Amino acid sequence: MPTSRDGIFDYGVEMRKRTPPKMKVVVDERLTLIKQDTKKGRLRYYPYNINWNYGLLPQSWEDPSFAFNES
């Protein structure tokens, strides 16, 4: 779960506002790097102009080895 210092959270930007490179978080590499996405060995680009920053709170992705017990 993301941690807060005085109500301030760290935020990772995968795609910056008005930039075409399609970036992604790489969770299977050390230090969880953000790098440009590839498909069939080619760099990917987002075809539309997005007008906001797109990203995530670090360590907030799903952990497939964790089973949530609702009881």
Enzyme catalytic residues: 46
What are the Cα distances from residue 66, in Å, to 15, 22, 26, 69?
28, 28, 19, 10
How far is CA 67 from its chain centroid? 22
